[in-house]
């Protein structure tokens, strides 16, 4: 049964990866204007532009499903390194770019995808899965009614899976704090 669940999770994750593989991020036309484009986005996804110090310079939430395009004059920024992060349902796509003497160069070869942990509850069980291609561990802290009740780390594989049994008597609000590779993810849920 565990092998079937793992195979199913791998199939789902590979489907997600291949569906976004053709993601077109940017086009640099003449006159210093860059057309930033995303395909296959949904309402509520958001993107941000970050400098090399980690400061968010711009952020926007996408308002419609489908394709998205916006023009930027990145040459107005100082020379240096920057990233564009597209935050989707199950992944964050990070595309670095540099600006040198008013030229914008996108480093497509250095594009990175970070998969978010997938969390669900079923029959008083907490199921956590994450695809971690660079095999980063996932640190987990579970809170019940504001108090931390559990701490764990899932590590050692490209596909991280763990099932936790929750007490049927402890109904109410739960808060799950997860971190991996310097990123934090939050999930709240309720047991009825």
**How large is the average pLDDT for residues 175-191?**
91
What are the beta bridge partners of residue 143?
148, 175
Report the 10 Å Cβ neighbour count for 66: 11
**Nearest CA-CA partner of 94 in 192, 175, 5, 183:** 183
pLDDT at 21 over 60: no
Beta strands 112-115 and 138-144, pairing class: unpaired
Taking all residues of the chain, what is their mean pLDDT, rounded to a whole number?
Answer: 83
**Rounded Cα distance, 108 and 94, in Å:** 10
Query: Taking a C-beta distance cutoff of 8 angstroms, is the pair 59, 47 a contact?
Result: yes
Residues 32-78 have pLDDT tens digits of 688 888 888 999 999 999 999 999 999 999 999 999 999 888 877 88
pLDDT of residue 31: 59
3-state SS, residue 166: coil
pLDDT of residue 5: 41
Reading the block at residue 42, the tokens are 């949904």
Residues 131-159 have pLDDT tens digits of 988 888 999 999 998 899 999 999 988 89
**Rounded Cα distance, 148 and 142, in Å:** 6
Q: In what order do the strands lie in the sheet with 183-191?
A: 147-154, 138-144, 172-180, 183-191
pLDDT at 168 over 80: yes
Report the 10 Å Cβ neighbour count for 92: 16
**Rounded Cα distance, 127 and 190, in Å:** 14
pLDDT at 4 over 90: no
**Nearest CA-CA partner of 51 in 86, 78, 28, 91:** 78
Report the 10 Å Cβ neighbour count for 154: 19
Of the ranges 9-23, 63-77, 159-173, which one carries the lowest mean pLDDT score?
A: 9-23
Query: Taking a C-beta distance cutoff of 8 angstroms, is the pair 114, 152 a contact?
Result: no
pLDDT of residue 141: 96
* Angle, alpha carbons 49-175-91 (nearest 5°): 35
The H-or-E segment that residue 13 falls in is helix 2-20
Residues 99-127 have pLDDT tens digits of 988 788 889 899 999 999 999 998 889 99
pLDDT at 3 over 50: no
The whole-model pTM stands at 0.75
**How large is the average pLDDT for residues 71-98?**
91
**How large is the average pLDDT for residues 68-96?**
91
pLDDT at 11 over 60: no
């Amino acid at each position: 049964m565990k092998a079937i669940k793992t195979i199913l999770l791998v199939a789902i994750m590979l489907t997600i990866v291949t569906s976004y593989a053709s993601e077109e991020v940017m086009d640099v036309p003449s006159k210093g204007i860059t057309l930033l484009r995303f395909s296959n986005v949904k309402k509520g996804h958001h993107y941000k532009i970050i400098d090399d110090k980690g400061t968010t310079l711009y952020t926007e939430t996408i308002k419609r499903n489908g394709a998205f395009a916006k023009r930027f004059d990145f040459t107005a920024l100082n020379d240096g390194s920057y990233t564009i992060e597209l935050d989707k349902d199950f992944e964050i796509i990070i595309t670095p770019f540099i600006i040198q003497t008013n030229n914008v160069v996108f480093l497509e070869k250095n594009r990175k995808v970070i998969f978010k942990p997938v969390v669900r509850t079923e029959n008083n069980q907490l199921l956590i899965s994450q695809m971690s291609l660079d095999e980063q561990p996932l640190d987990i802290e579970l809170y019940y009614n504001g108090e931390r009740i559990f701490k764990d780390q899932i590590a050692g594989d490209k596909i991280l899976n763990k099932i936790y049994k929750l007490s049927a008597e402890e109904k109410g609000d739960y808060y799950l704090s997860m971190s991996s590779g310097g990123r934090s993810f939050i999930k709240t849920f309720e047991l009825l």
